[in-house]
């Protein structure tokens, strides 16, 4: 199993973000045991995950569904794969509290699917050094370890309990949005959340920005200029993000640390303030049911605490050739914790956009204190 992974960001005590580059992943005698935390990952390369085996069932995964809650697993991918990974080391990902929305909306429980049972009785024997030919790669305390055994770990014939593997197709997400005026909070796009011990505060939210209608009246429709008490890490699989149509490339990412001002670029502002407020479709070029990429969510055991904090604002286009034809949608990892950019993310990858701030340089002042708004 050949996998190259680089950390982009490390946060205070309970989470870490990675970029993953997998030139070749084989399932002949290798498995991974992610004993370190829960992980959410996005495949941004156009490669399709053919099979995913864990120590319970085997699942064939088509584009768009996301598998979750995996113990030991192995994958078989058609070609090179790249993506984003968020790890949390405290709590578990759960469905958000719907509040006044009621029983149905956002990611509905009925759309989370569990697989049929599968196992393999496979003996590989020992090598010339007397070690088993099946390699188990485990993660503990932020480090990778390996162990070797003679047989496949996917030999669990029966088990019971309610901590089951599942997958979810993001195309089933039920969008809730403002239909009269103003903006609803982006939390309405939350697929899964990892709550903290403080009510209403999340260690991490996994948020998507799916195709939808924009119909608000008397409203600046793009995401407005703001500061946030949360850190916002955004990624783009394909297409254009509605608040920054130029320079934010598929496979890239942006980090706006807590209380860092940000919002639409100058061109987006000019276009939105002059546009007629008729119903329009938003993000239609960021999702396709037949060609959307696989999003993988791996939910595992919580064991590890580590972290540093530094306030940093950065943007990277680190991962994807923009010619890829397969797509999913823009997403965001949002956290109440501060994150720092690692040396690899800031220097080694050589993809840091040091001119990011220039997208706001042409914003013009429109405020006039002498102007009176007529009733």
290 in a domain, yes or no? yes
325 in a domain, yes or no? yes
Degrees (nearest 5) of the Cα angle 56, 58, 59? Answer: 130
The total of structural domains in the chain comes to 1
Say whether pLDDT at 334 is over 80: yes
Question: In terms of Cα–Cα distance, which of 106, 14, 86, 142 is closest to 255?
Answer: 86
Q: Is 241 annotated as a binding residue?
A: yes
Do 260 and 338 contact (CB within 8 A), yes or no?
no
Q: What is the pLDDT of residue 87?
A: 81
Average pLDDT over residues 89-113: 90
Q: Is 217 annotated as a binding residue?
A: no
Question: In terms of Cα–Cα distance, which of 41, 34, 39 is closest to 93?
Answer: 39
Q: Tens digits of per-residue pLDDT, 232-247?
A: 998 887 666 655 556 6
Say whether pLDDT at 27 is over 90: no
| Mean pLDDT of all residues belonging to the chain | 74
Rounded Cα distance between 186 and 160, Å, is 37
The boundaries of the domain holding residue 201 are 2-359
Q: Tens digits of per-residue pLDDT, 258-314?
A: 999 999 989 889 999 999 999 998 877 654 432 233 333 332 222 222 222 222 333
Q: What is the pLDDT of residue 39?
A: 57
99 in a domain, yes or no? yes
Q: Is 262 annotated as a binding residue?
A: yes
Q: Is 168 annotated as a binding residue?
A: no
| Residues contacting residue 58 through CB under 8 Å, at least 6 positions apart | 51, 52, 115, 118, 120, 154
Q: Is 186 or 215 the better-scoring residue by pLDDT? A: 215
Rounded Cα distance between 218 and 220, Å, is 7
375 in a domain, yes or no? no
239 in a domain, yes or no? yes
Average pLDDT over residues 58-62: 49
CATH number at residue 335: 2.60.120.10
370: phi then psi, degrees, rounded to nearest 5: -85, -10
Q: Provide the 3-class DSSP secondary structure of residue 109.
A: helix
Q: Tens digits of per-residue pLDDT, 33-43?
A: 654 455 555 55
Say whether pLDDT at 121 is over 90: yes
130 in a domain, yes or no? yes
Degrees (nearest 5) of the Cα angle 214, 96, 312? Answer: 75
Where are the alpha helices (H) located in 8-93, listed in sequence order? Answer: none
User: Tokens 């011990």 — which residue?
Assistant: 197
Give whole-number Cα distances, 37 to 40, 52, 66, in Å. 10, 19, 17
366 in a domain, yes or no? no
Q: Provide the 3-class DSSP secondary structure of residue 93.
A: coil
Rounded Cα distance between 56 and 165, Å, is 8
109 in a domain, yes or no? yes
The least confident of 97-106, 116-125, 210-219 is 116-125
Give whole-number Cα distances, 10 to 140, 232, 284, in Å. 16, 13, 33
Average pLDDT over residues 336-352: 88
pLDDT-based confidence at 45, cuts 50/70/90? Answer: very low
360: phi then psi, degrees, rounded to nearest 5: -105, -5
The residues annotated as belonging to the active site are 183
Say whether pLDDT at 226 is over 50: yes
Q: Which uninterrupted H or E stretch holds 272?
A: helix 266-274
pLDDT-based confidence at 320, cuts 50/70/90? Answer: very low
Q: Is 77 or 340 the better-scoring residue by pLDDT? A: 340
How is residue 57 written in tokens? 């069932």
Q: What is the pLDDT of residue 150?
A: 94
Q: Tens digits of per-residue pLDDT, 131-142?
A: 999 999 988 877
Rounded Cα distance between 304 and 34, Å, is 11
Rounded Cα distance between 333 and 313, Å, is 15
User: Tokens 């010619």 — which residue?
Assistant: 323
Say whether pLDDT at 221 is over 90: yes
Rounded Cα distance between 138 and 35, Å, is 7
Q: What is the pLDDT of residue 114?
A: 78
Q: What is the pLDDT of residue 71?
A: 66
User: Tokens 């914003």 — which residue?
Assistant: 363
Q: Tens digits of per-residue pLDDT, 63-78?
A: 444 545 556 777 777 7
């Amino acid at each position: 199993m050949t996998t190259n992974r680089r950390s982009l960001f490390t946060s205070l005590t309970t989470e870490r973000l990675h970029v993953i580059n997998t030139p070749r992943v084989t399932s002949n005698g290798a498995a991974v045991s992610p004993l370190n935390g829960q992980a959410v990952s996005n495949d941004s390369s156009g490669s399709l995950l053919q099979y995913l085996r864990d120590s319970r069932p085997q699942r064939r995964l088509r584009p768009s569904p996301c598998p979750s809650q995996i113990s030991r697993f192995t994958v078989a991918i058609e070609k090179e794969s790249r993506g984003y990974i968020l790890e949390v080391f405290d709590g578990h990902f759960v469905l958000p509290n719907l509040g006044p929305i009621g029983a149905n909306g956002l990611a509905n429980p009925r759309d989370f699917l569990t697989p049929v049972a599968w196992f393999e009785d496979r003996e590989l024997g020992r090598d010339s050094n007397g070690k088993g030919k099946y390699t188990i790669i485990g993660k503990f305390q932020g480090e990778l370890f390996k162990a070797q055994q003679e047989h496949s770990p996917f030999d669990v014939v029966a088990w019971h309990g309610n901590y089951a593997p599942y997958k979810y197709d993001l195309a089933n997400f039920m969008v809730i949005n403002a239909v009269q005026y103003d903006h609803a909070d982006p939390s309405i796009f939350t697929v899964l959340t990892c709550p903290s011990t403080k009510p209403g505060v999340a260690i991490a939210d996994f948020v998507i920005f799916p195709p939808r209608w924009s119909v608000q009246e008397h409203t600046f429709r793009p995401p407005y200029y703001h500061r946030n008490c949360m850190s916002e890490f955004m990624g783009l699989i394909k297409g254009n993000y509605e608040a920054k149509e130029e320079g934010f490339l598929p496979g890239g990412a942006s980090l706006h640390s807590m209380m860092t001002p940000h919002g639409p670029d100058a061109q987006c502002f000019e276009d939105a303030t002059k546009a007629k407020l008729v119903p329009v479709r938003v993000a239609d070029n960021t999702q396709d049911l037949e060609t959307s990429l696989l999003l993988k969510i791996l939910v595992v055991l919580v064991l590890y605490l580590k972290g540093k904090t530094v306030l940093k604002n950065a943007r990277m286009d680190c991962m994807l050739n923009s010619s890829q034809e397969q797509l999913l949608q823009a997403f965001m990892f949002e956290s109440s914790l501060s994150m720092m950019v690692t040396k690899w993310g800031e220097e080694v990858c050589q993809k840091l956009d040091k001119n990011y701030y220039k997208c706001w340089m042409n914003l013009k002042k429109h405020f006039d204190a002498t102007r009176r708004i007529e009733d």
